[in-house]
Amino acid sequence: MLPWFQPEELFHSLFVLMRAGALLLALPLFGGPGVPPHVKIGLGALTALLLSPAVKPGPAVSNVGQLVVVVAQEVFVGLSMGFVVALTFYALQVAGHLMDVPIGFGMVNVLDPHFGGQIPILGQFYQTLATLIFFTINGHHAVLRALAASYELIPLGGAAWRGDLAAVIVAAVSGTFLLGVRIALPVIAATFLTDVALGIVSRAVPQINVFITGYPVKIAVGMLTLLVAMPVYVAVLGVVFGDGGEMMRWLWRFLSAH
């Protein structure tokens, strides 16, 4: 064996890389189909290189079976953390669906390069806006801080499934729908009142075809509501991605449940 070759250091770097790489792979901003594979690998390797000196050594590995188990644990932790962070972006897709249907955009979808599928027009708009706010308020720094802290809360090879972990995941998923409803609520309320007004008009003036005139009216009301509520949306997204927002709260609860 070469004198400078240390298997323990190699395994240590490998374990750190597995968690960091899995986290970046699960994030829609870095792990989507639109990001080249060599960029993903480079970001994961660079993150692991910077974190390795500060991470406590993992368990000693004496055979292939132990190596596979520890690698699987680290990949599970990284993917789970990335999934929890991605839930905040999925909430914007939920909000887009809830807004597109009453406005009249429910049958129109656009291709999303991050998720590799089709999402509503307003969902794409909010996701682009959220991406800008995420980097503007240094949300990626918060994710990296959580990744560094995860090695203290969940040591290398120390991941374990506890009873309250499932409850944390269920709460995070349900919180995704709640957040989506909160974001879409102004548009839903405005279009509902528009439907009520159109119903009153159709009863008062039966000659007006509300099914034809209602679509442009609802689109105009929905877009005007979006324009008026835009400062509120920016403030809400800033809170969501902040240190005390939903993203970090779900992430810390997940890390504390192990």
Q: pLDDT tens across 86-106, in order?
A: 888 888 878 877 887 777 666
pTM: 0.75
Q: Do the Cβ atoms of 155 and 56 come closer than 8 Å?
A: yes
Contact 162, 258 (CB under 8 A): yes
| pLDDT for residue 4 | 47
Q: Which letter does DSSP use for residue 156 in this model?
A: T
Strands (E), 121-189: none
CB 114 within 8 A of CB 82: no
pLDDT of residue 27: 80
Q: Are 26 and 114 in contact (CB under 8 A)?
A: no
Distances (CA, A) of 13 to 9, 18, 53: 6, 9, 9
Judge residue 108's burial from the number of C-beta atoms within 10 Å of its C-beta, 0-12 exposed, 13-18 middle, 19 or more buried: exposed
Q: Six-digit token pair at 68? A: 């596979």
Instruction: Give pLDDT, residue 242.
Output: 77
Q: How far apart are alpha carbons 134 and 238 in whole angstroms?
A: 7
Which parts of the chain register pLDDT below 50?
1-2, 4-5
Q: Treating both helix axes as pointing N-terminal to C-terminal, what angle do 121-136 and 64-103 enclose, rounded to 10 degrees? A: 120
